[in-house]
Amino acid sequence: MTFSRDTALGLFAMALAGAYLGAGAGIPESLLSDSVGANGVPRVIGYGLATVGLVLAARSLWRPASTDEDDNPAGALARAVGLLAILVGYLVIVERVGYPVSVALLIAASAAYAGAKPDARLAAAAIGGAALFWLMFGKLLGIPLPGGIFG
Amino acid sequence: MNFEALFASLAGVIWGIFGGALPGISPSIAMALLLPFTYGMEPVSAIVLLASVYVGAEYGGSIPAILIRTPGTNSAAATTIDGYEMARRGKAGEALGISLMCGLVGGLFGLLVLSTATEPLARVALAFTPPAYCALGILGLSVIASLSGGSLLKGLIAAFMGLMVATVGTDPVSGVPRFTFGHAELLGGIRPILVMVGLFAVAEMLEQISSPAWAKADARDTRLKLPGLAMWRRLWKTQVIGCSIGTLEGVTPGAGGTIAAFMAYNEAKRWSKHPEEFGKGSPEGVAAPECANNVVTGTALVPLLSLGIPGSNSAAVLLGGFMIHGLIPGPLLFQKAPEVVYGLYWGLLSANLFMVLVGLVILNPCIWLVNRPKPYLIAFILALVCTGVYAIDQSLFDLGLVLGAGVVGYAMRRFGVPVLPMVLGVVLGFLVESNYRRSLVLSGGDHAVFMQDPVALGLLAVAFVLTAYSLMREFRTK
């Protein structure tokens, strides 16, 4: 028996199904409810997911797939986490700092993180891009964007 | 059709393509943004303007789907599968050309159906009861097997995850909150477009950040390429499939372009001489969904014009446009204001032709844009995603959901789990559950209602045959 990615996926599916069924058990009953109930369909989905996860995990233990290799090394995961951190950073500051500044920072940070040189071209792209998006969404489409430090 | 209406058609198409290409601006939002401007317009021009936005937006959604793996609209999700694969193989211009011309074929066919068969098709719309809607959703889910990319178990895991997302929000029958964990933002459920943008665009950027730089594209690959005679010959069957499914789904209120696109993709794969190319950059894989979702722009207006039933958000905005001018869609519209109905037909015809003209002008610059240096492209895609998502409801919570979906999408790639069954689950989950339960409420809990309704029974039988066929093929190839 070998523990593979499919085994991990199967076990994860079972755990997710368990958490989902657990959360579903807390759905309040209503006097307006029908014969199926608010938790009826979620129960079917949860048990369905658990069953498929179990079959996948069992199959991968007894009959491991021949191409079950990790072609995505840990370095790639770290790079992805770094980019995600930049996006979360944008999410945290956009309301406080305001849209134009935040989106300029997002463009500059993510481009630099992806390999752009921190030079005048990058600064121009960040400022120009922020202005373009602000004009397009804020002015042309009339969408209220967070003002932040600009009120 | 006067000059003002013709100009309205051109302006509507340009605005629609622009809006549809921006993630977060759905066709109905693009139409709604123009609604206030129609007050002072002639009724024909106003209706033509709104209908042209719809045509343009449905097409525009496929541009980012092909170029940056970000569907601009829900119905463009199926186009990302082979459109983006073609773009990755240096065939972005060819994919966009196929999408444009098959969109034109679909749009014109939809218009033909709308203008000649509105009355008989309206009866089809009336025949749809809750059991039939439930069966329609199950028919849509039956394509999961062929979207699973060779691993049915993983496809099922993805589909169940999508169905789980679809259960978040207020219960459709009793009204109690489910899986909202105290967040008021979740009471209305999770919009499918948020999940799609996360699964496709954010996950792709997380993947690309550690991939080597893209090879410089050949100049020939960065130009729009319209399909030649040989390609048309290859695609004719696909377009027949797209037109048939687009007609059926379009006339059914609530079905819409997304289900049509996925089903057309599935059937095109089933009937193709090269099914092995699907998912790896098949031209038919672009043609089928593009044709189907553009047919829907015409056929979705059948229930609106004939019965006054808006079958989609976009049709509801169009209904608003009619009402602003004191017009009530329905059987009497053809007697009371025939000039508006025929003006709309001419407007849709010109909108489809303008779609090609505008497409020919803007697609080359779009291809040029996505061939800019990778770091800048990643940065601008992320900025577009963050801004577009915020534009939907001005909610940072939504942006958090998109990032979460992006992480899930990235993890699914690492574990070799296909994302499309999850998208299908998210899109169809609510339709299936709400109509299943409504059917049981109406029948007093008797499941025989699904066998007694002829439309439901027919759709369930087709779903069963399609699933059995897909499973047989899956097991035979192993």
What is the tally of structural domains in chain B?
A: 1
- Which residues does residue A148 pair with via DSSP β-bridges, in sequence order? none
Q: What are phi and psi of B358, to 5 degrees?
A: -65, -40
For residue A116, list chain B residues with Cβ-Cβ distance below 8 A: 373, 375-376, 379
Question: How confident is residue A1, by pLDDT bands cut at 50, 70 and 90?
Answer: low
**Predicted complex ipTM:** 0.92
For residue B20, list chain A residues with Cβ-Cβ distance below 8 A: none
pLDDT tens track for B209-259: 877 665 555 555 567 888 999 999 999 999 999 999 988 888 776 667 788
pLDDT tens track for B64-84: 888 888 887 888 888 988 999
Task: Determine the pLDDT at residue B467.
Answer: 81
Distance CA A113, CA A83 (A): 7
CB contact under 8 Å between B433 and A90, yes or no, is no
Distance CA A141, CA A126 (A): 21
Question: Minimal Cα–Cα distance from B54 to chain A, Å?
Answer: 16
CB contact under 8 Å between B376 and A59, yes or no, is no
- Distance, CA of A15 to chain centre: 19
Q: What b/e string do you get for A38-75 counting C-beta neighbours within 10 Å, with b at 16 or more?
A: bbbbbbebbebbbebbeebbeebeeebeeeeeeeeeee
Closest Cα partner for B432 from B162, B159, B141, B171? B141
Of how many residues is chain A composed? 151
* Contacting residues for B173 by C-beta, under 8 A, at least 6 apart: A32, A33, A34, A36, A38, B434, B437, B438, B441
Percent of chain B with pLDDT over 70: 93
* Contacting residues for B229 by C-beta, under 8 A, at least 6 apart: none
- What is the H or E stretch that residue A90 is in? helix A74-97
Cα-Cα end-to-end distance for chain A: 62
Closest Cα partner for B375 from A75, A136, A118, A21? A118
CB contact under 8 Å between B375 and A111, yes or no, is yes
Closest Cα partner for B111 from B334, B345, B312, B322? B345
Per DSSP, the three-state class of B177 is strand
Tokens for B17? 């393509």
Closest Cα partner for B51 from B348, B296, B349? B348
Q: In chain B, which stretches have pLDDT less than 50?
A: none
Distance CA A44, CA A48 (A): 6
Domain that holds residue B269: 3-476
Distance CA B138, CA B464 (A): 9
Query: Domain spans of chain A?
Result: 5-62, 74-150
Q: What are phi and psi of B169, to 5 degrees?
A: 120, -165
Q: What b/e string do you get for A101-131 counting C-beta neighbours within 10 Å, with b at 16 or more?
A: bbbbbbbbbbbbbbebeeeeebeebbeebbe
CB contact under 8 Å between B157 and A13, yes or no, is yes
The answer on pLDDT for A67 being more than 60 is no
Interface mutation target, options A7, A21, A91, chain B, most CBs of B under 10 Å:
A91
Q: What are phi and psi of A98, to 5 degrees?
A: 105, 155
pLDDT tens track for A88-127: 999 999 999 999 999 999 999 999 999 999 999 999 999 9
Distance CA B274, CA B276 (A): 5
For residue A114, list chain B residues with Cβ-Cβ distance below 8 A: 208-209, 374-375, 378-379
Does A66 reach chain B within 8 Å, measured CB to CB? no
Tokens for B174? 């009793």
